[in-house]
Structure 1
Amino acid sequence: MASLSCLVLLSLIFSNFAHSLAGYYTSKPLAYNVPKKPMNVIDSCWRTKSDWAINRKALADCVVGYGKATLGGKYGAIYVVTSPYDDPVNPKPGTLRYGVIQSIPLWIIFARDMVIKLKNELIVNSFKTIDGRGAKVEIAYGPCITIQGVTNVIIHGISIHDCKPGMAGRVRSSSTHVGMRGGSDGDAINVFASSNIWIDHCYLARAKDGLIDVIHASTSVTISNNYFTQHDKVMLLGHNDKFIADKVMKVTLVFNHFGEGLIERMPRVRIGYAHVANNKYDEWKMYAIGGSANPTIFSEGNYFVAPDNRSSKQVTKREATNWQNWKWQSSKDVFINGAYFVPSGYGSSAPLYTRVQSFTVAPGYMVPVLTSNAGPLRCLVGKPC
């Protein structure tokens, strides 16, 4: 009887120890008894409400993480895009460009499905929301979005793909200013020297340069619920290894789905800080999370499925030789098909969120469900989305 009690006690101790491990490793996707379609904390804030179409601005209250204070056009009027036409210098009322350059806050929506082929980069002014809910909206086959030197921008529910470099020439950036531009690189979204930015539920694929760049001391950014696919250098956080102003950069990357055909930079971080939480990684060709110039990275509750290539199983990559003291840590991550994370540094790398920025990060095995609706949603008026 005593030996049986000892066995039970040892079993309990082993069970508790196993569940306290920072990550879970397996060769196959995990099959847990997860409730059907629980929503993540951002989606549950608004998607269950059938009045979303007449109460669109409530979305601005749902962001979490470093971009929590982002207002977008919450305190402005509704502006309706009725035409996909574009004129970079003298945009017409009813076009997307006419809305985003205005100096007043605006919540921009779309009258119908449309594909917008921009003639040059779309320069977005402060306090704007681009809200694609209720329509299928694509910005594609031309230059794409630039967020430069502004604050409080929300981009939600649109597809941005097949982006081309912008040409040198005149582009209007406000209702009162047209400036000469040197040409854009071909990013899907370029965030340059800006703050309080939220990019949510977008589809991003096949840009000439990066899908999302956050550079030149941009900060207070949340990138959430997006679907990334078919691209090489996916996401860059930080301008270059010597741009020390990027030390202020703080980015939350949460509930995103990194799909098929991606190679690297999910993200690559330079100098600043990134909280990478509850994202699903289907595969990568080179690596998933990389960095240089001593950034701090906290990988928490992610779901990593390594490629079959034995030389590409590692999640992490440092572009340096003296990285041992960099703070890169993993907690509650799930590793499948031989994926593994190489930690480094000492002390905590957890985000120092304020009370309003903070959110509960789910264990990694929940991620396939929490990210199952990443990308634009097909929302019907009068029904929960």
Structure 2
Amino acid sequence: MVTDSGDDDPVNPRPGTLRHAVIQDTPLWIVFKRDMVIQLKQELIMNSFKTIDARGVNVHIANGACITVQFVTNVIIHGLHIHDCKPTGNALVRSSPEHFGWRTMADGDAISIFGSSHIWVDHNSLSNCADGLVDAVMGSTAITISNNYFTHHNEVMLLGHSDSYTRDKLMQVTIAYNHFGEGLIQRMPRCRHGYFHVVNNDYTHWEMYAIGGSANPTINSQGNRYLAPVNPFAKEVTKRVDTAASQWHGWNWRSEGDLLLNGAYFTPSGAGASGSYARASSLGAKSSSMVATITSGAGVLNCRRGRQC
């Protein structure tokens, strides 16, 4: 249980702090004793087999470093307000009871997933960070991003390191039941190489585009609600980034059962064979008419001890 909101020493964290809990080698379900605001001095580097569960209290990670999930597996992040994350680094940081090391500058992502697998980011409220809100790169896979509320941010979600980093061809990500809300501009997500199931999300705000990609990602958009902005030049849901049409015409991008409002349009591509989307299909889509209900509880749940969420 986290009882201490402090982060005085990233190399020798005090017992009772969140940093002390997440670096342990043993599997842990981490809960919080009370409401707290945690201002991290350096990246919170998580060890494998950890669940952060902030249900029942009001926990903000804000105004400092944020969460790094690097070369680990089986991590759940649930129920946090994560916002106003800053670049940090050029410092020593502990990543396990036995190891600490030098960290170069971090970008200021809310949640950075690097070379990791079996990661679930669920029911968090994320906004206004220096770089991305959720970025997953360098061979990360088996990721579910669900029931989150994203607001007030430019480059929301990057999935895939670079066009030349082909290990991300194995990446599989599910993006489900999220609300992409006010003040968002682009990258919801921006994909490279892998397989992406975008299902039953509510897109109520974007300024440039909602879903983008390069380097031949497979994108399966099912049962989402896309509400285009007023700007007549930003009605398109999709964007192929820095790629000629002669190249992207063969990419497998499809819209199936999506609700397109206020002039929104999704530009599909590829042969359209259903078998092409097998690795980008992780759950059955509900009707897009149900999206408002499905996503009504997106973000941090209003839970209190002794009451059902």
- Which category describes the TM-score, using the shorter chain as reference length? over 0.9
Tell me the distance in 2 between the aligned counterparts of 1:142 and 1:105.
26
8 Å Cα contact 2:88/2:105 also seen in 1: yes
Tell me the distance in 1 between the aligned counterparts of 2:290 and 2:264.
17
* Alignment partner of 1:174 is 2:99: no
Tell me the distance in 1 between the aligned counterparts of 2:282 and 2:164.
31
Tell me the distance in 2 between the aligned counterparts of 1:262 and 1:380.
30
Deviation, structure 1 residue 202: 0.2
Tell me the distance in 2 between the aligned counterparts of 1:330 and 1:360.
14
8 Å Cα contact 1:197/1:222 also seen in 2: yes
**255, 269, 274: which is aligned to 1:344?**
269
Deviations 1:7-55 (A, max 9, x none): xxxxxxxxxxxxxxxxxxxxxxxxxxxxxxxxxxxxxxxxxxxxxxxxx
8 Å Cα contact 1:232/1:263 also seen in 2: yes
8 Å Cα contact 1:163/1:208 also seen in 2: yes
Amino acid at match of 2:6: Y
Amino acid at match of 1:337: N
Amino acid at match of 2:34: R
RMSD, aligned CA: 1.0
Deviation, structure 1 residue 215: 0.4
8 Å Cα contact 1:275/1:351 also seen in 2: no
Amino acid at match of 1:360: G
Tell me the distance in 1 between the aligned counterparts of 2:283 and 2:118.
17
Deviation, structure 1 residue 150: 0.2
Aligned residue for 2:290? 366
Tell me the distance in 2 between the aligned counterparts of 1:122 and 1:360.
34
TM-score in terms of structure 2 length: 0.96
Structure number with larger C-alpha Rg: 1
Deviation, structure 1 residue 381: 2.3
8 Å Cα contact 1:210/1:234 also seen in 2: yes
8 Å Cα contact 1:212/1:236 also seen in 2: yes
Secondary structure of 2:31's counterpart equals: strand
Structure-to-structure mapping, 1:1-385, within 5 angstroms: 80-86=1-7, 87-319=9-241, 320-321=243-244, 322-346=247-271, 347-348=273-274, 349-352=276-279, 358-385=282-309
Q: Where do 4+ consecutive residues of structure 1 move more than 4 Å?
A: none
Gaps of 5+ in 1: 1-79
Identity %: 59
Tell me the distance in 2 between the aligned counterparts of 1:317 and 1:284.
12
Deviation, structure 1 residue 379: 1.1
TM-score in terms of structure 1 length: 0.78
How many residue pairs get aligned? The number is 303
Deviation, structure 1 residue 363: 1.1
Secondary structure of 2:61's counterpart equals: strand
Tell me the distance in 2 between the aligned counterparts of 1:344 and 1:191.
29
Deviation, structure 1 residue 112: 0.2
Tell me the distance in 2 between the aligned counterparts of 1:351 and 1:95.
42
8 Å Cα contact 2:118/2:141 also seen in 1: yes
Tell me the distance in 1 between the aligned counterparts of 2:18 and 2:277.
39
Tell me the distance in 1 between the aligned counterparts of 2:89 and 2:254.
41
Gaps of 5+ in 2: none
Tell me the distance in 2 between the aligned counterparts of 1:194 and 1:287.
28
